[in-house]
Amino acid sequence: MSASSTDPIIAIATAPGRGGIGVIRVSGPDLSAWAEALCGQALRARHAHYLPFRNQQGETLDEGLALFFPGPHSYTGEDVLELQGHGGPAVLRRVLEDCLARGAAIGLRLAQPGEFTQRAFLNERLDLAQAEAVADLIEASSTAAARSAMASLSGAFSAEIDALSERIVQLRMLVEATLDFPEEEIDFLEKYQAAERLDAVTATLDGVLRTARQGLVLREGLHVVLAGQPNVGKSSLLNALAGEDVAIVTPIAGTTRDRVIQQIHIEGIPLHIVDTAGLRETEDTVERIGIERSWAEIARAQVILHLQDARHPDDPLDAEIVRRLPAGTPVLRVLNKMDLLDAAAPAPAPAPCGLSMVKKAGPTAAAPAPMPDPGLGSGLAVDETLQISARTGVGLDTLRARLLRIAGWTPGAESPWLARERHVRALEDARAHLALAREHAAHSDQVLDLFAEELRLAHESLCEITGQFTSDDLLGVIFSSFCIGK
């Protein structure tokens, strides 16, 4: 890290705008004398001191609480001073500017985004996965995501990774020791049941990977695109799923000329649903641009809902749309306006005993055929037809359940820790190295040093998650996405 990573830093830690309380946070290796001078009194460690915040000229800028946390028992592991005053932008800025002026002598500067947490990581107060969980907890958009981020922050995810690493390290130690005694190489694998141990570690890693994928879904959500001809009910479906009017619904074809994105939650999973302009041939330039954008959205989708009017399930234009849908993206064919179909059905004949049997559009009418559970990333395209009515709500529960399943979410699954793309990738890398190690073990002329090398690489991949082997570049990317003051 650069030399500046030990400069004292300062930031307003509370969100911009007005609030009941505003917090200014300062962190540095040795702040006690400076903090005492700033506050005009000695500060007892971890005690709240109520006092006026005066500037250098003696003017009272605000009044509030000062708290001093001497390092290493602080958030950053350094000395930390917190000033809790009134949460107005102007008053906070005045206090901040005064602190900066009075901190010039000790090199005090404004903190960069995430710099407090970066210091906590560098001073080993948190590992990297925990540090990321801090940002994820702040960003969490649902209760489930917040709960899982907290689990990661408290170290549940890191503990799983550390336990896996430990088992790989033990296996490595055995191999490395054997490498020093070449005459023992031959029966090493049998003697230490290396293949069995490797299989057991791999099975555990597979479990962690499955949970991490769930955690990734919970964090990132699913990018769902509504596609179909004009007027089939795409905007109505978006509104029905969102539970509020976000898209304009009219009976005039071609109303949605640009995309509308709405984030909804199903069981805490964020779904980013994109409503697109209806796909049709058109002379209207503006509408044509909208349609081009629709195809661009469809190309980026993780799931496509191809909406059709249930009254015209075999429309040739829909066959044309299907032909153009990207291969490899799961597509759910959704027949909408089932209520109209039911209404148009011939009146049922009166049943014996004066009872009449009325065909009801209920969950059974919308129940789709069972389908295999492909999960995202499995490379399988779903081809399933669902029957719904955006107007009456029939079939929407089934649709929601299907979307969750495609996202890879197991309903009722134990709340996982929140995971990031880079965690899943590192776990997959580790998995691939273990598989290669297994191949070397199975080979008749077992090559122990290749076996050892794959174990080393698997271990290294796992360590990337908690930050034991991490480049400064990666740290820069991770911490720069934090908010200022965290």
Task: Catalog residues that contact ligand GDP under the rule CB under 6 A.
Answer: 228, 230-236, 249-251, 255-256, 278, 336-337, 339-340, 389-391
Let me know: does 161 contact 129? Beta carbons within 8 Å: yes
CB of 318 to ligand GDP, least distance (A): 12
CB of 387 to ligand GDP, least distance (A): 10
b/e burial code for range 124-140 (CB count within 10 A of at least 16 → b):
ebbbbbbbbbbbbbeeb
CB of 370 to ligand GDP, least distance (A): 24
CB of 258 to ligand GDP, least distance (A): 12
Q: Which residue is nearest to ligand GDP (CB)?
A: 233
Phi, psi of 367 (to 5 degrees): -65, 125
- Is 74 or 229 the residue whose CB approaches ligand GDP more closely? 229
- Is 236 or 262 the residue whose CB approaches ligand GDP more closely? 236
Considering only CA atoms, give the Rg of the chain. 30
- Is 114 or 278 the residue whose CB approaches ligand GDP more closely? 278
- Is 84 or 294 the residue whose CB approaches ligand GDP more closely? 294
Q: Report how far residue 68's alpha carbon sits from residue 373's, in angstroms, rounded to the nearest whole number.
A: 54
CB of 248 to ligand GDP, least distance (A): 7
Q: What are the DSSP calls for 49-103, one per residue?
A: EEEEEE-TTS-EEEEEEEEEE-TTSSSSSSEEEEEEEEE-HHHHHHHHHHHHHHH
CB of 381 to ligand GDP, least distance (A): 23
Collapsing DSSP states into helix, strand and coil, what is residue 392?
A: coil
Q: Report how far residue 445's alpha carbon sits from residue 438's, in angstroms, rounded to the nearest whole number.
A: 13
Q: Report how far residue 344's alpha carbon sits from residue 79's, in angstroms, rounded to the nearest whole number.
A: 75
Long-range contacts of 344-347 (CB under 8 A, 24+ apart): 344/311
Q: Report how far residue 235's alpha carbon sits from residue 252's, in angstroms, rounded to the nearest whole number.
A: 12
- Is 251 or 370 the residue whose CB approaches ligand GDP more closely? 251
CB of 347 to ligand GDP, least distance (A): 19
- Is 144 or 271 the residue whose CB approaches ligand GDP more closely? 271
- Is 194 or 361 the residue whose CB approaches ligand GDP more closely? 361
